[in-house]
Amino acid sequence: MTAAVRKASFALTGRLHKLGIFNDADLLLHLPMRYEDETRLTPIRALASGVSQQVEGEVEHAEITFRPRRQLVARLRDDSGTLVLRFLNFYPAIQKMLEPGKRVRAFGEVRSGFWGEEMIHPRVLAVTAGEALPQALTPVYPATAGLAQSALRKLVGRAFERASLADLLPESLRRSLKLAGWERSLRYLHQPPTDARLGALDARSHPAWRRIKFDELLAQQISLRKAYVERRAHAAAQLHPQGILTARLIEALPFALTGAQRRAVDEIARDIAQPYPMQRLLQGDVGSGKTIVAALAMLQAAENGLQAALMAPTEILAEQHYRKLAGWLQPLGLEVAWLSGSQKKRERAAMLEKIATGEALLVVGTHALIEETVALEKLGLAVVDEQHRFGVRQRLALREKVCGRLPHMLMMSATPIPRTLAMSYMADLDVSVLDELPPGRTPIVTKLVADARRDEVIERVRDACREGRQAYWVCPLIEESETLQLQTAVETFETLRAELAELKVGLVHGRLKPAEKAEVMDAFLRNEVQVLVATTVIEVGVDVPNASLMVIEHAERFGLSQLHQLRGRVGRGAAASSCVLVYAQPLSQNGRERLKAIYETTDGFEIARRDLHLRGPGEFIGARQSGVPLLRYADLERDVDLIEAAKQAAEEMQARFPDAAEALLARWYGGRAELLKA
Ligand code: ADP
Ligand code: MG
């Protein structure tokens, strides 16, 4: 291998890893997300909008225009009419293909544009007159930048030659469940035969899809059953409820626990008194009050003379937790230690000492907690806030702090998982749900405002602050470039500072040093800063009750859960709160649906459901990060019958065909098995 080839194949491997592909078996399970019908040509005049179709014609004209921004515009003609092809991003290769006089096929969706019918970013292919059309449907794979469909198709083809295609489902089971054969199903989906119909394939109702989905569910059930058994075989310290300090804390709180909080507290209290480790997810919408539930559990550990640690994904959040916990627990005579990456050396050393000696039973921190220098020998309970923000290894690292025994684990997440999802996904992750918000919150009013009316939004901010309230102004994530994102935030900050001269405007973004971030957040918390311009760093957990207005720019670029999380930053105090979503035209279909969903409901579960629908479960709660064997193909709502069948089959496989059960796990989780242990 030459250095260049090695480098190229290294890059390819990296891209495949990004897609969760580590070996040939993974490639076979990397199934098309949809198919395109390139077997036909549609005359330009007969194009229907809203569906992807293919046309063929001669390029009549092509030019690069600069208004409103740089783009390549070409006009294509066939016997029936002309069509505009528009490219906002394009490579020289495309430009070359679209020189006047050349013949191309274009595949895409047609819309009515300013100059009549047009396709934006169609896929184009240079052809010669009369060139044969493909005979079968074209699979479209989930891909990533730098990895072309054609390359994936080739890789999959090779995988068919190398990977095992054995049917791991015992014949008797397969028959009684009336399922299609494994190899046939795989081949059908990757390389549909010429008579395959787009409808059944896209709806995933075809028997080939059912077979894949069944195996996926079966592998999941088997792995969950194994995890359950393994967990119960581990020892953990029994943290019996002592009740004395807990009662005092509850009494001292300025509020009464909600019914949902009490239920969760009881469930956790019971679990951590068991001699095997708890594995529980505390799930509750933003603002549902998860922190106090965690504090009460931590207190139970301390009452048993063991340590409890709370790990949060950002410095801002960790510090906020530290303050809350110290406020609640120090009056009870308990020391709370605090660790963060930005801490001064001397302070850190002192904290480490307190933690090592066990003088501090309660510890709060960021990732700094899992560093090797931190000795948490007496750790009885580990709490991970916003658990989906952590990699699986990071969560596991906390567990490994203790020799011999495992600590109890409490994971917290504000990303609500629809109940059906939670139950069947997480047979080995018990779930407590806070499905009730503390009383006295006024509902948040959501407004959608077009970009052009930005001035009115600024006036709203002015009004809110004049009444003594505070506002967040969130700038969007710009995926392509962190620098651009930063630049946008800084520009917005400058503009707002000029426009709202009478107010103090602050800026917080990911490039600030932790101490600087903390300083800005502090000032905001103390109302010394009235308007906080922020990138998405504020997304998780920040609690500033006086902030009642949230402005989100380019809201159409945010994911649904993200919008929900951001909106949850307001509406935490008694004042009426609002969230203004500023969007830019034109909206994509998906963007429009996201905005509609966030506008129509504030119910986190409903939002999660729609999010799931819009994104597909594969992406849900950062699939690859979550450590839970998420489903890529089966749909828990549509495929309930398969879930039931898979549950029963899992039991039978483990009892009667343990080798096949293991092979199935290897096939589905293979190189990722490690990730699924959590
Ligand atoms: P989250 O679930 O988003 O982490 P927090 O734990 O930050 O929510 O709680 C949000 C706010 O609600 C905090 O200010 C907290 O003190 C307060 N809170 C929690 N439980 C209650 C309750 N039962 N009644 C009133 N306020 C509560
Ligand atoms: Mg929280």
Task: Give 344-376 pLDDT, tens digit per residue.
Answer: 899 999 999 999 999 999 999 998 898 888 888
Distance 368 CA to ligand 2 centre (A): 19
Contacts of 44 (CB under 8 A, 6+ apart): 55, 57, 76, 77, 78, 80, 81, 82, 83, 117
For the residues of 564-581, what is the DSSP string, one character each? HHHHTTSS-SSS-EEEEE
Classify burial at 478, counting beta carbons within 10 Å of its beta carbon; exposed 0-12, middle 13-18, buried 19 or more.
Answer: middle
User: Which tokens go with 287?
Assistant: 């603002």
**CA of 314, nearest ligand number:** 2
- Write the single-letter amino acid at 246: T
On the question of pLDDT at 627 being above 80, the answer is no
- Ligand 1 centroid–CA 571 distance in Å is 11
**Residues, beta carbon < 5 Å, ion ligand 2:** 541
- On the question of pLDDT at 620 being above 60, the answer is no
Query: What's the mean pLDDT in 571-580?
Result: 85
Protein residue closest via CA to atom 18 of ligand 1? 289
The atom number, within ligand 1, closest to the CA of 572 reads 11
Indicate the range of 171-180, 209-218, 286-295, 631-640 predicted with least confidence: 631-640
pLDDT at 512: 83
State the closest ligand 1 atom to the C-alpha of 256, by its place in the atom list counted from 1: 23
Class at the top of the CATH hierarchy for domain 208-440+634-678:
alpha beta
Segment 282-300 mean pLDDT: 92
- Ligand 1 atom having least distance to the Cα of 284: 2
Mean pLDDT for the stretch of residues 72-91: 92
289 CA to centre of ligand 2 in angstroms: 7
Whether residue 112 contacts residue 58, with contact meaning beta carbons closer than 8 Å, is answered with no
Residue 153: per-residue pLDDT: 93
- Label residue 568 exposed, middle or buried (CB < 10 Å: 0-12, 13-18, 19+): buried
Among candidate residues 669, 626, 662, 674, the one with its CA nearest the CA of residue 20: 669
Residue nearest (by alpha carbon) to ligand 1 atom 15: 289
Q: Which ligand is nearest to the CA of 570?
A: 1
pTM, entire model: 0.67
Give the Å distance between the CA of 10 and the centre of ligand 2.
40
Closest ligand, as measured to the CA of 295: 1
Count Cβ atoms within 10 A of the Cβ of residue 153 and give its class: 0-12 exposed, 13-18 middle, 19 or more buried.
middle
Q: How confident is the model at residue 238 (pLDDT cuts 50, 70, 90)?
A: very high
User: Of 19-33, 263-277, 510-524, 586-600, which has the strongest mean pLDDT?
Assistant: 263-277
Tell me: pLDDT of 569 over 70.
yes
Cis peptide before 275 (omega within 30 of 0): no
Q: Which long-range contacts (CB under 8 A, 24 or more apart) does 569-573 make?
A: 569/286, 569/472, 569/538, 569/542, 569/544, 570/444, 570/472, 571/287, 571/441, 571/442, 571/443, 571/444, 572/287, 572/441, 572/543, 572/544, 572/545, 572/547, 573/545, 573/546, 573/547, 573/548
How many A from CA of 472 to the centre of ligand 1?
20
More confidently predicted of 422 and 155: 155
Q: Rounded mean pLDDT of 259-286?
A: 93
pLDDT, position 602: 85
Ligand 2: distance of its center to the CA of 572 in Å?
12
Pairwise CA distance, residues 628 & 203, whole Å: 26
Q: How far apart are CA 633 and CA 664, in angstroms?
A: 16
Report the top-level CATH class of 444-601.
alpha beta
Confidence of residue 674 (pLDDT cuts 50, 70, 90): very low
Domain boundaries, the chain: 40-133, 208-440+634-678, 444-601
**Residues ≥6 apart with Cβ < 8 Å to 521:** 316, 508, 542
Q: Which region among 23-27, 236-240, 427-431, 465-469 has the lowest average model confidence (pLDDT)? A: 427-431
**pLDDT value at 427 more than 60:** no
At a CB cut-off of 8 Å and minimum separation 6, what does 592 contact? Answer: 556
Q: Nearest ligand, CA of residue 325?
A: 1
Confidence class for position 618, pLDDT limits 50, 70, 90: very low
Query: At how many degrees (to 10) do helices 604-615 and 560-567 cross?
Result: 160
Q: Do domains 40-133 and 208-440+634-678 have the same CATH topology?
A: no
Give the ligand 1 atom nearest the CA of 545: 14
d(CA 275, CA 234): 8
With bands split at pLDDT 50, 70 and 90, how would you rate the model's confidence at 299?
A: very high
Q: Which of 116-120, 191-195, 538-542 has the lowest mean pLDDT?
A: 538-542
- The mean predicted confidence, pLDDT, of the chain is 87
Q: Output the residue whose Cα is nearest ligand 1's atom 17.
A: 289
Residue 254: predicted pLDDT: 92
pLDDT of amino acid 249:
95
Residue 182 Cα to ligand 1 middle (Å): 50
Dist. CA 62 → ligand 1 center (Å): 59
Average pLDDT of span 10-29:
87
Distance 289 CA to ligand 1 centre (A): 3
Q: Rounded to the nearest 5°, which phi and psi values hold at 548?
A: -125, 0
Which atom of ligand 1 is least distant from the CA of 288? 2
What is the Å distance from ligand 1's center to 594 Cα? 27
pLDDT band at 628 (very low <50, low <70, confident <90, very high): very low
| Three-class DSSP category at 280 | strand
Look at 618 and 481; give whichever has higher pLDDT.
Answer: 481
Question: From CA 452, how far away is CA 40, in angstroms rounded?
Answer: 42
pLDDT value of residue 621: 38
Using the atom order of ligand 1, give the atom closest to the CA of residue 290.
Answer: 2
Distance (angstroms) between ligand 2 centre and the Cα of 360 equals: 23
Q: Which of 255, 410, 542 to mutate to test the pocket of ligand 1 (most atoms within 8 A of CB)?
A: 255
Measured in Å, residue 63 CA sits from the centre of ligand 1 at 58
- Interval between CA 428 and ligand 2 midpoint (Å): 23
Which residue out of 291, 432, 602 has the highest number of ligand 1 atoms within 8 Å of its CB and is therefore the one to mutate? 291
The residue that leads in pLDDT, 624 or 541, is 541
Give the chain's length: 678
Ligand 1 atom nearest to 324, measured from its CA: 16
Residue nearest to atom 13 of ligand 1 (CA): 289
Q: For the beta carbon of residue 468, count every other beta carbon within 10 angstroms.
A: 11
The pLDDT tens digits for 33-72 are 889 889 999 999 999 887 889 999 999 999 998 877 889 9
Residue 278's nearest CA partner among 322, 316, 232, 310 is 232
Q: Which residue CA neighbors atom 26 of ligand 1 most closely?
A: 438
Three-class SS state of 151: helix
The predicted pLDDT at position 408 comes to 96
Task: Report the pLDDT averaged over residues 568-586.
Answer: 87
Atom of ligand 1 lying closest to residue 292 CA: 6
Nearest CA to ligand 1 atom 22: 438
Query: Which atom of ligand 1 approaches the CA of 286 most closely?
Result: 3
Q: Given a cut of 70, is residue 630 above it in pLDDT?
A: no
Look at residue 422 in the predicted model and tell me its pLDDT.
52
The alpha carbon of 525 and the centre of ligand 1 are apart by a number of angstroms equal to 16
pLDDT at 480: 62
Average pLDDT over every residue of 621-637 = 56
Residues with CB under 6 A from ligand 1: 255, 257-258, 261, 284, 286-292, 414, 438, 541, 543, 572
> Counting ligands in written order, which one lies closest to the CA of residue 543?
1
- Return the best residue to mutate from 251, 288, 320 for the ligand 1 pocket (most ligand atoms within 8 A of CB): 288
Residue 201 confidence class, pLDDT cut points 50, 70, 90: confident
> In a mutational test of the pocket of ligand 1, which residue from 257, 265, 292, 296 has the highest number of ligand atoms less than 8 Å from its CB?
292
Residue 409 above 80 pLDDT? Answer: yes
Q: What is the distance between the alpha carbons of residues 588 and 278, in angstroms, rounded to a whole number?
A: 44
The closest residue, in CA terms, to atom 20 on ligand 1 is: 289
Question: Has residue 640 got a pLDDT over 90?
Answer: no
Which CATH superfamily is 40-133 part of? Nucleic acid-binding proteins (2.40.50.140)
Q: How many angstroms separate the alpha carbon of residue 180 from the centre of ligand 2?
A: 46
